[in-house]
Homo-oligomer: A and B are copies of this chain.
């Protein structure tokens, strides 16, 4: 019996045949270059069969591995983070939702174990990340199509590689694609301690941009400030301080930002707009406050503020895999130069996924949960 392999094809939709979790085994002749064991191995994966609270709907299951055909790549996953967008996807609040049941996770680093006979761009030992969202990275092993993967250098840290394909890419594109910023220009952002926020701080510093970083107040605020300053943050200010009228003076020492990056929405984004320079752009890429973005009519008309959104999946769709590969290499170059590091991470073994999922949804989390396979 040949079963549809959900990981094949350019869209790499994370689709599993309904109720057929154990049928992922593709029997039959193995591809000639398939150098791993001839017997299909057991795969452990975090699977959800319906949308809802991740703590309730995600389960660790045993899957069987498909055989490797001509254009397939057998990958052993090394590490995969839990991003806010992974949580949103499980909850059903995301711009694209895989068919269910699905394996969770959209990002991670894997190592090529074996390749099919027609695969030319990848070799055993290569490190790979998903080309697109929806691949399902929270598992020990998988057989993917070659075009669903992007090679990355294997001389960067495991944490950097595991967290390279989403947050730093989002940060870089938002800094480059909306306003023509010059060294010395400033950028304001909220949720500055998030994965994207930390990447923004570092990439902006590498580009000579000055950052104003808004964070929520918390008991260990000084520790957080010190850490973000170490990354290259010029100014760090709490949401509460930003609202005070005297904060106006704050902007006398720094050119008013022409770019604001909003991962929160609600009041926090209103504050970003208030401090944006005339003609500036606010880019929304997340909605942690679960409240809409509101702009006064006069801000739009008389201050000429522009409100935009950014979604990496859409950018990749518009620009194609070659541009994405270029972007990855640009970021790896920053990593090699020591200008971009992984966010603070907590490594958690796959079987302790409940702890990791819980921690990733705690308020004021200061480290990203990384599942180690």
Complex CA gap A306/B295 in Å reads 13
Which residues does chain B contribute within 8 Å of A305, judged by CB atoms?
309
Question: Are A301 and B311 in touch, CB under 8 angstroms?
Answer: yes
> Contacts A284-B301, A301-B285; is A295 near B311 (CB within 8 Å)?
no
Partner of A297, one of B287, B304, B314: B287
Chain A 301-322: CB-based contact to B (< 8 A → 1; otherwise 0): 1111111111100100000000
Interface footprint category on A: 20 to 34
A292 located at the interface, meaning its Cβ lies under 8 Å from any Cβ of chain B in the complex: yes
Partner of A295, one of B93, B94, B293, B297: B293
Which residues does chain B contribute within 8 Å of A287, judged by CB atoms?
296-298, 301
Complex CA gap A311/B302 in Å reads 6
> Which residue among A93, A286, A294, A308 has the maximum number of chain B CB atoms within 10 Å of its CB?
A308
Complex CA gap A295/B269 in Å reads 12
A105 located at the interface, meaning its Cβ lies under 8 Å from any Cβ of chain B in the complex: no
Chain A residues near B (Cβ < 8 Å)? 93-96, 265, 284-287, 292-311, 314
Question: Are B307 and A307 in touch, CB under 8 angstroms?
Answer: yes
Which residues does chain B contribute within 8 Å of A286, judged by CB atoms?
297, 301
> Contacts A292-B294, A292-B295, A292-B296; is A309 near B314 (CB within 8 Å)?
no
Q: Could you list 20 examples of A-B contacts with CB < 8 Å?
A: A95-B298, A95-B302, A284-B297, A284-B300, A285-B301, A286-B297, A287-B301, A292-B297, A293-B296, A300-B307, A300-B308, A301-B309, A301-B310, A302-B309, A304-B311, A306-B306, A306-B307, A306-B308, A307-B307, A307-B308
